[in-house]
């Protein structure tokens, strides 16, 4: 439940919008229980909404085409994580076949596989192969945890292996044997900022990992990158102007995504670097406390956060949820 004073009429505005905004607002800002009639009504409306049903239908093709760019927001991977963020569950209509397809592609190491195609010039085979990388496997595992499968042995195994790849400076760029010698454009000893972000996102949802040395190392890595953003940008991940633009959904390396993840760790409550991030986000609200996207992902143009002209209820909810955690 939010303990931060919200601007007048903001909650009414959020609750009058799309059902997924109303659902998450009732849960995360108002602190209502899943059994609350208003929460249940919003959830049923969300599940029945054509835009949500369309995403579920798309995921029936899992794993879909080969991942050609993890930054591409239209990948099935990111649509999966968005549904997880909304609060869908493994037994919701249309979801069981999706879950079955994901679980059917577990690697020998533990992480779940995506379809990829790495050119021979980058150390791959040039063929479509099932494999995993630290820039996708954590998101798949995170989604399964959100869907209610955090205690599933396969998910536990995947998370344990991914967590074990942490070093003293967080997670590196790492891929499964099927993807050959490919790795991102950086030094082997450097941490991958995006891998650290999505690994922290996963571990924050797992009680046995949320206060682990690996989680603390990953958090220190991304916070240090923020502190030294003018000098350090491993694997060409910058924290400049584009990084600081508010956008949704939370699928790539940006300010709000990082703040949303880091505010899930209560032991960061007094970290001045995170508080600085939150202050920057707060400064971007208009006089009514609403937030307008400063950047958009074209595959999401049909959603309220897919435009830059008017405030977005979903983006506004995400901002206030992050702000309220450390109020």
In the predicted structure, residue 252 carries a pLDDT above the cut 60: yes
SS3 at position 318: helix
Write down the pTM of the prediction.
0.96
Q: Sorting pLDDT into bands at 50, 70 and 90, what band is 16?
A: very high
Cα separation, 33 vs 87, in Å, equals 13
In a domain? residue 80: yes
Q: Which two tokens stand for residue 303?
A: 């959603």
Neighbours of 4 (CB within 10 A): 13
In a domain? residue 130: yes
Give the mean pLDDT of 212-227: 97
Domain of 171 in residue numbering reads as 61-220
| Each residue's pLDDT tens digit, 296-326 | 999 999 999 999 999 999 999 999 999 999 9
In a domain? residue 135: yes
Q: For position 145, which CATH number holds?
A: 1.50.10.20
Q: How many domains, the chain?
A: 1
| Each residue's pLDDT tens digit, 129-185 | 999 999 999 999 999 999 999 999 999 999 999 999 999 999 999 999 988 877 787
Q: How far is CA 208 from CA 114, 136, 246, in A?
A: 26, 21, 31
**DSSP summary character for residue 131:** E
In a domain? residue 7: no
In a domain? residue 308: no
Give me the phi and psi of 259, to 5 degrees please: -65, -40
Q: Sorting pLDDT into bands at 50, 70 and 90, what band is 3?
A: low
Cα separation, 311 vs 13, in Å, equals 11
Give the mean pLDDT of 68-97: 95
Q: Which residues, other chains included, contact 71 with Cβ-Cβ below 8 Å and sequence gap of 6+?
A: 252
In a domain? residue 297: no
In a domain? residue 253: no
Give the mean pLDDT of 15-27: 98
In a domain? residue 314: no
């Amino acid at each position: 439940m939010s303990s931060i004073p919200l601007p007048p009429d903001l909650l009414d505005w959020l609750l009058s919008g799309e059902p997924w905004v109303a659902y998450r607002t009732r849960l995360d800002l108002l602190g209502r229980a899943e059994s609350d009639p208003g929460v249940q009504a919003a959830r049923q409306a969300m599940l029945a909404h054509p835009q949500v049903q369309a995403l579920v239908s798309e995921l029936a093709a899992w794993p879909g085409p080969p991942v050609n760019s993890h930054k591409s927001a239209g990948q099935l991977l990111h649509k999966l994580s968005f549904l997880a963020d909304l609060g869908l569950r493994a037994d919701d209509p249309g979801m069981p076949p999706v879950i079955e397809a994901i679980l059917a592609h577990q690697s020998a190491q533990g992480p779940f596989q995506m379809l990829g195609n790495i050119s021979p010039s980058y150390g791959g085979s040039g063929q479509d192969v099932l494999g995993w990388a630290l820039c996708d496997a954590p998101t798949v595992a995170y989604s399964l945890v959100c869907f209610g499968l955090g205690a599933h042995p396969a998910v536990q195994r995947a998370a344990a292996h991914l967590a074990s790849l942490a070093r003293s400076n967080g997670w590196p760029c790492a891929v499964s044997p099927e993807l050959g010698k490919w790795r991102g454009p950086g030094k082997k000893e450097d941490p991958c900022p995006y891998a650290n972000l999505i690994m922290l996102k996963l571990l924050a949802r797992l009680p046995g990992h949320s206060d682990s040395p690996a989680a603390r190392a990953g958090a220190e890595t991304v916070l240090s990158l923020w502190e030294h953003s003018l000098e350090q940008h491993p694997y060409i991940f910058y924290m400049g102007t584009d990084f600081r633009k508010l956008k949704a959904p939370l699928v790539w390396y940006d300010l709000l995504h990082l703040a949303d993840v880091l505010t899930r760790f209560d032991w960061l409550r007094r970290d001045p670097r995170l508080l600085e991030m939150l202050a920057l986000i707060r400064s971007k609200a208009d006089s009514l406390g609403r937030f307008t996207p400063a950047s958009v992902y074209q595959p999401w143009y049909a959603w309220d956060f897919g435009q830059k002209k008017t405030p977005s209820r979903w983006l506004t909810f995400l901002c206030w949820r992050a702000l309220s955690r450390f109020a």
